[in-house]
């Protein structure tokens, strides 16, 4: 009996459970852009005005939040990602425009430099090609303040720098933004599932990889718990496990360990695989997505970042 099964379900989904990632780039007015991402069917790079229209649509559907990623023209990239601090860059303009348009969703922003550096790594580099951790942390604090001034509610540092939460919390508090929240990518693995995202954000590393500052998937859960503990201790209001499906065991362990909400990111590769299989008629797309989201909730996720946020809101009514 379907109604009885629904009554007895242990996990439930709501549009408020989802965060919609958006990629924003230059262009607007007569040059408004909505550029398809080839490796992620149904996902686009938006100009600021096109992004605001999409956010208004998602807001009406009841989606809980959005997170912005900047797509930077090559001419604006440099070795330290200085355009990330520009108060009129695409992320900041989208934040301001969304607030002015009355979008009521929680506004989150990605804090990182891979989208802004000409080398594609997550911060300024040393002579040997490694990321300068302490300088990157200082700059992340500055980037967070820029986003807070533009209207961001939640800052989400994604580069896995040591002591990044403490640096960002200190910078926000010193600038008078004590009420802004931090969603830390506390447990982020060096994963092959990120490939389509790097197409969408135009941010692949120009040499090497990011294994030096992202986590090794061969390591056990204890390391993930230590990373989460450190970030919560430094003031993270929420923590994230990324990717999602391959790390349900980690998500479960972290959610049971920490005293703050735990999120997960249903990443680009996970999304693209479902889309590809559905396009070939091999799976029921809606059924697989709903099953996946229930798995995240069952494992302990308070909310999920997913490119299916809009679809889920429509399916859930």
What is the set of active-site residues? 188, 242
8 A C-beta contact, residue 33 and residue 23: no
Encoded tokens for 108? 């989150």
The closest of 47, 89, 91, 52 to 68, measured between CA atoms, is 91
**Cα–Cα distance for residue pair 39/129, rounded to 1 Å:** 29
**Cα–Cα distance for residue pair 111/286, rounded to 1 Å:** 31
Encoded tokens for 309? 């946020």
Phi and psi at residue 111, to the nearest 5°: -105, 110
In degrees to the nearest 10, what's the CA dihedral of 113, 119, 124, 130?
A: 120
How many CA atoms lie within 13 Å of 39's alpha carbon, on the beta-carbon side? 14
Phi and psi at residue 50, to the nearest 5°: -65, -35
Cβ atoms within 10 A of the Cβ of 300, count? 20
8 A C-beta contact, residue 142 and residue 170: no
Under DSSP, the state recorded for 198 is H
**Cα–Cα distance for residue pair 159/295, rounded to 1 Å:** 26
8 A C-beta contact, residue 88 and residue 103: no
Element (H, E) at 35: strand 34-36
8 A C-beta contact, residue 96 and residue 152: no
**Cα–Cα distance for residue pair 57/224, rounded to 1 Å:** 36
């Amino acid at each position: 009996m379907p109604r009885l099964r629904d009554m007895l379900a242990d996990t439930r989904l709501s549009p408020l459970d989802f965060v919609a990632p958006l990629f924003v780039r230059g262009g607007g007015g007569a040059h408004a852009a909505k550029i398809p991402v080839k490796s992620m069917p149904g996902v686009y790079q938006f100009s600021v005005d096109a992004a605001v229209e999409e956010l208004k649509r998602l807001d009406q559907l009841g989606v809980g939040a959005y997170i912005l990623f900047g797509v930077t023209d090559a001419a604006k990239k440099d070795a330290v990602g200085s355009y990330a601090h520009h108060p009129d860059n695409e992320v900041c303009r989208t934040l301001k425009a969304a607030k002015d348009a009355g979008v009521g969703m929680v506004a989150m922003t990605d804090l990182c430099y891979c989208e802004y550096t000409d080398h594609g790594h997550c911060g300024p580099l040393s002579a040997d090609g490694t990321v300068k951790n302490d300088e990157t942390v200082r700059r992340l604090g500055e980037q967070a303040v820029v986003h807070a001034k533009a209207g961001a509610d939640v800052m989400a540092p994604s580069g896995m720098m040591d002591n990044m939460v403490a640096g960002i919390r200190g910078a926000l508090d010193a600038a008078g933004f004590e009420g802004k929240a931090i969603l830390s990518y506390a447990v982020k693995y060096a994963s092959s599932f990120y490939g389509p995202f790097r197409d969408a954000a135009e941010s692949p590393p120009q040499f090497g990889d990011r294994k030096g500052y992202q986590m090794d998937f061969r390591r056990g859960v204890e390391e993930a718990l230590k990373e989460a503990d450190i970030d919560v201790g430094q003031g993270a209001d929420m923590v994230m496990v990324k990717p999602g499906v391959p790390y349900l065991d980690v998500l479960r362990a972290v959610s049971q360990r920490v005293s703050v909400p735990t999120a997960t990111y249903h990443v680009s590769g996970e999304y693209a695989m479902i889309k590809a299989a559905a396009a070939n008629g091999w799976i029921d797309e809606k059924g697989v997505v709903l099953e996946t989201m229930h798995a995240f909730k069952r494992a302990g996720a308070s909310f999920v970042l997913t490119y299916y946020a809009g679809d889920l809101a429509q399916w859930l009514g």
